[in-house]
Chain A
Amino acid sequence: MFYRETGQFKSKYKEELAAFPLFEDKIGVGILLLLAYVAIPIFGIPGLSYEFTLSAIMIPVVIFTITTLGLNILLGFAGQISLGTGAFMGVGAYSCYKFMTIFPDLNILICVILSGLVTAFVGMLFGLPSLRIKGFYLMVATLAAQFFLEWAFIRIPWLYNYNNSGGIEGPNKEMFGIIISGPQSDATTRYLVCLTFLVLLTWLASNVIRGRIGRSWMMIRDMDIAAELIGVRPLTAKLSAFAFSSFYVGISGALMVFFWLGAAEVESFDINHSFTYLFMVIIGGLGSITGCYMGAILVWVIPVLIKEIGKTSFGYDAFVMENLSIILLGFMIVVILIVEPHGLARLWQIAKQKLRMWPFPY
């Protein structure tokens, strides 16, 4: 009743090709943007402390959504599997660190974007095996990337400027007289920076996947032989997917260290994290941008909330809650995947379909 395309006629292809052809969708996205940009930074989430809302929920969710977008472009749209996401985030973080120390006066946002480009290049290198192998075998090849890069983060001291801790940490960085990164920066500022990255990157991703290049990725994913006979060059399509995806992952890695954690060691980029991002993509829904948001929110927020509620309301030991949250999350993942193997995005689509008919389903 409130959500339907009836009566919304398009007289130009351009209008139909828009990101949100439906009026209701435009309003919905507008409301979400307002919530994220205005309501949350001012009021926080009711029932949770402001600081906790931003640093434990919103900032990581925003950053992991960028990671998930990157991985979903590779896995969901181009059909190339990767287990090296965690390590590629590390590439982003370490290269951002190097840029910051080599060019101390360079704006940190430019450092972040440059580190995304470096990661894109590294991702492309490790994507080369995809030209020869597919599926599980490719997965093993990217696993090699994960282990190799982790090794590099420990064994190449140049990457962390030979400091004794073996980790990297960000100094205070200013922009327009405001400290936007580093120990003295304000959580709200950092949140807004990350959010802006997310909004821009989502927009870019949705543009690319709806255009020629996105179609070439999906062609390779669905039927690589037919794609080749139609004129897609597998080399270009696969490597561009690896590069574009790694660009996102690299940016999210740099943001994670310099806008959220403040400092990081190699443990932040290990294979367990790679698996977590893979969960986010699969639970959210392969090949769906909305799904990236839902997957990241579900996989990150639920355990954090369970831990927090257990600690404050029931006074449980943090250790118990940690395990409990893992059990509950695992249970939920199993249930969701049984109910809808295509992830939350498909559930959302079905809900929208139902809403279109509501209240007269026949």
Chain B
Amino acid sequence: MGNIDQNVMMEVKNINLRFGGVIAIQDVSFDILEGEIRAIIGPNGAGKSSMLNVINGFYHPQEGEIWYRGEKRPSMEPYEIAKTGIARTFQNIALFKGMTTIENVMTGRQLKMNKNFFWQMIRYGPAIEEEVEHRRRCEEIIDFLEINHIRKTPVGALPYGLQKRVELARALAMDPTLLLLDEPMAGMNVEEKQDMSRFIVDVNEEFGTTIALIEHDMAVVMDLADRVVVLDYGKLLADGTPNEVQKNQAVIDAYLGVPH
């Protein structure tokens, strides 16, 4: 909200994604500006999650181009795309259940650590210094998201709302330039939603992270997002500010409905 400039960070152009005969995304184009919060909304099965999967390289679209920071992105594997500064959270939590919160957050630093097998084996000198350095950053993020008290708890034992927050922490630990959030508030109560919204705004403002999020709670979307993309049956229905989208008749018919 605060620090949008008009530089385009990412542009998806004419994406077509098919699974066999099923058309998941059909000729969708939109852009994400640097520093904005971009919401993707639409009914179930509209292709929102598929779109995120395309952006972070898990799906390879049959047609279409993705331009990231002014360059056309070649077809890449997910781990290569992670290196370019794109992080994400998942609709159904994908934490590492056997590990504690701090370990989960530390996994986000994976790409930034590079000491080789030998140093890892003796865990002395450079290896331990690297570990400490990244631990410090992770603790900052843990502080930021107020999850200090569960630092040493195995994530499998945490309540749902906290797991979602740990997942956000893990994504933030990657120091992303573009953060993709897949339904960060699904299944939360009002209070948890407020907390999560606050964190999302804070991340956007303090770290300057560009955020693309999928969300069904319209009140949240209208408050948080700078611009909204609406998808329906894999097609682009509308693209604009929350107010514009809210008044768009096609969007009201397909998704928002009218208040009774």
Q: B-contacting residues of A (Cβ < 8 Å)?
A: 12-14, 17, 204, 207-208, 210-216, 218-219, 221-223, 225-234, 240, 287
Q: Is the CB of B132 within 8 A of A17?
A: yes
The SS class assigned to the B binding surface is: helix
Known: A229-B78, A230-B87. 8 other contacts (CB 8 A): A17-B128, A207-B127, A208-B121, A211-B115, A211-B123, A212-B130, A219-B96, A230-B79
Q: Is the CB of A215 within 8 A of B56?
A: no
A-contacting residues, B86-112, CB 8 Å: 87-88, 90, 94-99, 103, 106-108, 110-111
Q: Using CB atoms, name the residue of chain B closest to A244.
A: B117
Q: Is the CB of B97 within 8 A of A13?
A: no
Q: Is B170 an interface residue (CB 8 A)?
A: yes
Q: How far is the CA of A29 from the CA of B108 in the complex (A)?
A: 32
Q: A212-B115, A223-B95, A225-B58 are in contact. Are A230 and B123 (CB under 8 A)?
A: no
Q: A226-B96, A231-B79, A231-B83 are in contact. Are A14 and B58 (CB under 8 A)?
A: no
One of A13, A204, A230 near B107 (C-beta < 8 A): A230
Q: Is the CB of B108 within 8 A of A230?
A: yes
Q: Using CB atoms, name the residue of chain B closest to A216.
A: B110
Q: Enumerate 30 A-B pairs (CB-CB under 8 Å) in ascending A order.
A: A12-B132, A13-B139, A14-B128, A17-B132, A204-B122, A207-B120, A207-B127, A211-B115, A211-B123, A212-B110, A212-B120, A213-B117, A215-B103, A215-B107, A218-B96, A218-B99, A222-B96, A222-B97, A223-B95, A228-B58, A229-B79, A229-B82, A229-B88, A230-B87, A230-B107, A231-B82, A231-B110, A232-B79, A240-B117, A287-B98
Interface centre among A204, A216, A221, A229, by most chain B C-beta atoms within 10 angstroms, is: A229
Q: Is B23 an interface residue (CB 8 A)?
A: no
Q: A13-B132, A13-B135, A230-B170 are in contact. Are A207 and B123 (CB under 8 A)?
A: yes
Q: Is the CB of B96 within 8 A of A210?
A: no
A residues in contact with B110, CB < 8 Å = 212, 215-216, 219, 230-232
Q: A-contacting residues of B (Cβ < 8 Å)?
A: 56, 58, 77-79, 82-83, 87-88, 90, 94-99, 103, 106-108, 110-111, 113, 115, 117, 120-123, 127-128, 130-132, 135-136, 139, 170, 174
Q: 9 closest Cβ contacts across the A-B interface?
A: A231-B82, A207-B123, A222-B96, A226-B94, A231-B111, A211-B120, A212-B113, A13-B132, A228-B78
Q: Is the CB of A230 within 8 A of B132?
A: no
A residues in contact with B122, CB < 8 Å = 204, 207
Q: Is the CB of A229 within 8 A of B120?
A: no
B residues in contact with A229, CB < 8 Å = 56, 58, 78-79, 82, 88
A291 shortest CB reach to chain B, Å: 14
The SS class assigned to the A binding surface is: helix
B68 shortest CB reach to chain A, Å: 16
Q: Is the CB of B120 within 8 A of A213?
A: yes
Q: Is the CB of B98 within 8 A of A211?
A: no
B residues in contact with A287, CB < 8 Å = 98
Q: Is the CB of A233 within 8 A of B79?
A: yes
A residues in contact with B170, CB < 8 Å = 230
A residues in contact with B113, CB < 8 Å = 212
B residues in contact with A230, CB < 8 Å = 79, 82, 87, 107-108, 110-111, 170, 174
Q: Using CB atoms, name the residue of chain A closest to B133.
A: A13
One of A213, A218, A225, A234 near B94 (C-beta < 8 A): A225
A residues in contact with B115, CB < 8 Å = 211-212
Q: Is the CB of B98 within 8 A of A221?
A: yes
Q: Using CB atoms, name the residue of chain B closest to A77.
A: B98
B residues in contact with A216, CB < 8 Å = 107, 110
Q: How far is the CA of A159 from the CA of B79 in the complex (A)?
A: 41
B residues in contact with A225, CB < 8 Å = 58, 94
A residues in contact with B139, CB < 8 Å = 13
B residues in contact with A12, CB < 8 Å = 132
B139 shortest CB reach to chain A, Å: 8
B101 shortest CB reach to chain A, Å: 13
Q: Using CB atoms, name the residue of chain B closest to A221.
A: B98
One of A211, A218, A219 near B131 (C-beta < 8 A): A211
Q: How far is the CA of A214 from the CA of B131 in the complex (A)?
A: 13
A37 shortest CB reach to chain B, Å: 21
B158 shortest CB reach to chain A, Å: 14
B residues in contact with A233, CB < 8 Å = 77, 79
A residues in contact with B56, CB < 8 Å = 229
Q: Using CB atoms, name the residue of chain B closest to A233.
A: B79
Q: How far is the CA of A230 from the CA of B127 in the complex (A)?
A: 21
B residues in contact with A210, CB < 8 Å = 123
Q: How far is the CA of A218 from the CA of B115 in the complex (A)?
A: 18
B residues in contact with A226, CB < 8 Å = 90, 94-96
